[in-house]
Amino acid sequence: MKLVDEQGIEALSMRRLGAELGVEAMSLYNHIPNKAALLEALVDHVIAEVPIADEALPWDEQIREMARSFRRLSLAHPHIVPLIAMRPFNTVTALKNVEYAFGLTLSLGLNENEALHVFRALAGFATGYTLAETGGFFAEGTGPKTDYTIDTADLTSGEYPNLMKMIPVILSCNHDEEFEFGIDLFLEGLKKKMPPR
Amino acid sequence: MKLVDEQGIEALSMRRLGAELGVEAMSLYNHIPNKAALLEALVDHVIAEVPIADEALPWDEQIREMARSFRRLSLAHPHIVPLIAMRPFNTVTALKNVEYAFGLTLSLGLNENEALHVFRALAGFATGYTLAETGGFFAEGTGPKTDYTIDTADLTSGEYPNLMKMIPVILSCNHDEEFEFGIDLFLEGLKKKMPPR
DNA sequence: TACATACCCTTACACTGTAAGTGTCAATGG
DNA sequence: CCATTGACACTTACAGTGTAAGGGTATGTA
């Protein structure tokens, strides 16, 4: 984890990890079946840190807390976020969070199908947003520059008036606030779909 | 693209692509600077197919259409979805879609900051959901099986009552409908945040 | 004393992206 | 008409990857 956090995911090779541990690469195979399992363990380790929200809180505040925790821990290990986003939440540790989340959505009075939809919509937003954030949003210039890449400096022509108008807020945007805004949209929509209690 | 669609992203190596084209691997470098540019071109090619919605439609229907188109084309090239989700939308072709989307959100009467939030929330949901869908949702069994992976058959103990209750709907869930439900939540929340016109 | 287990090692293989250099056509300009 | 150029292909080579195969040794158990 230290290796990945400090040097990125492509720095994690069996030989390099071995060297870090003062051991040959092949010795690692006495502890892990293969590299895929190693990556899965990394994901599991991050997910394991996501705490269950305080069940005494109002349900919407619980949802907020879960999303915040997920994002906070993702941002703490940005190089692992693509791995997290790509794998289904079916690791040992993620199970307790899924169980909790289903309990929460079911308690809202929705039927099972709708409860599942709500969970997946929120999980989709949280992973998608965080993935984009760690990968570098459009026009923030953190992404890799290639032949196909556009630089904001190239947009001086009048072809993209709306985009030009947005550049200042893109550069000054507060991501914490933006993430909360996204959750707001969801929760407001959800409250409208919920049966009265 | 054909190679990736048929055999997965890891089947795309310079040598294999060369062989497919009846050419040596190094000859490809006369046309592309490096492999990263090749991948970026693939992403760009998919995004290029996402059509701008009919501007005569109501604004919420335009948003729906854009999200649907993005998902439809993503599902047509599932192995490329992780690449799409990881890169910022700053390729040449994606630019016109971003410009259009900003025009749409700005036209809702929101200020620029909020318009950006709305765009990113929707984009985050669409990419996150589609990524999860192509990667295999939890408990649908399409993900890779490793030591850390849970199988639904292992859940017979009473530790996860909510999860057990959800298994049937997880297996029978209609993803088209679910995606629409997610957009619903967003749009309902958005309508509540919008200034009256 | 015998055996099993845990853990490390070395060697080897097939594969990766790509730097460097060479060869060969077709088109262009003097 | 010939020289030069550029596009495009080739070969060779290098450092790096995951991991299969097999061998060594120290510890704990029967």
Q: Is B11 within 8 Å of chain A by CB?
A: no
Angle between helices B112-135 and A112-135 (to 10 degrees): 110
pTM equals 0.91
pLDDT digits (tens, 9 = 90+) for A60-119: 999 999 999 999 999 999 999 999 999 888 777 888 899 999 999 999 999 999 999 999
pLDDT digits (tens, 9 = 90+) for B119-164: 999 999 999 999 999 987 876 654 455 555 566 656 666 788 999 9
Contact B162 A99 (CB under 8 A): yes
Residue A8 at interface with chain B, using a CB cutoff of 8 Å: no
B57-86 pLDDT per residue, tens: 999 999 999 999 999 999 999 999 999 999
Nucleotides of D under 7 A from a protein CB: 7-12, 16-22
Calculate mean pLDDT across residues A140-157: 57
**pLDDT at position A139 over 80:** no
Residues on chain A touching B140 (C-beta within 8 angstroms): 88
Which residues are within 8 A (CB) of A118 and not within 5 positions of it... i.e. 6 or more apart? A105, A108, A110, A190, B185
Q: Which residue of A has its CA nearest to B40?
A: A148
Q: Are B150 and A90 in contact (CB under 8 A)?
A: yes
Give A9: exposed, middle or buried? Use CB within 10 Å, 0-12, 13-18, 19+: middle
Residue pair A92/B148 in contact (Cβ under 8 Å)? The answer is yes
- Please give the nucleotide, over all strands, whose C1' is closest to the CA of residue A33: D19
B167 in contact with chain A, both atoms CB, cutoff 8 A: no
User: 3-class SS at B149?
Assistant: strand
Nearest residue on chain A to B140, judged by CA atoms?
A88
Contacts B36 to A, Cβ<8 Å:
144, 146
CB-based contact B101:B121 (threshold 8 Å):
no
Using CA coordinates, name the residue in chain B closest to A139: B90
Helices (H), chain A: 2-7, 14-20, 35-48, 59-76, 81-86, 94-106, 112-135, 161-172, 175-193
Averaged pLDDT, B44-61? 94
Residues of A numbered 18-77 whose beta carbons fall under 8 angstroms of chain B's beta carbons: which are they?
33, 36-37, 40-41, 44
Torsions phi, psi for A190 (to 5 deg): -65, -45
CA of B14 to C1' of D3 (A): 36
Q: Where are the alpha helices (DSSP H) in B57-111?
A: 59-76, 81-86, 94-106
What average pLDDT does this structure show over A172-182? 97
Shortest CB distance from A135 goes to which of B87, B128, B138?
A: B87
How many angstroms away from the CA of B153 is the closest CA of chain A?
A: 12
Q: Do B193 and A173 count as a contact with CB atoms less than 8 A apart?
A: no
Give the least confident one: A100-104, A143-147, A181-185: A143-147
Please, what's the b/e burial string for B130-161 (b: 16 or more CB within 10 A of its CB; e: otherwise)?
Answer: bbbbbbbbbbbbebeebebbbebeebeeeebe
Query: Which two structure tokens, joined as six digits, stand for B48?
Result: 């290029």
Give Cα A70 to chain centroid, integer Å.
7
Would you call A168 an interface residue with chain B, using a CB distance cutoff of 8 Å?
Answer: yes
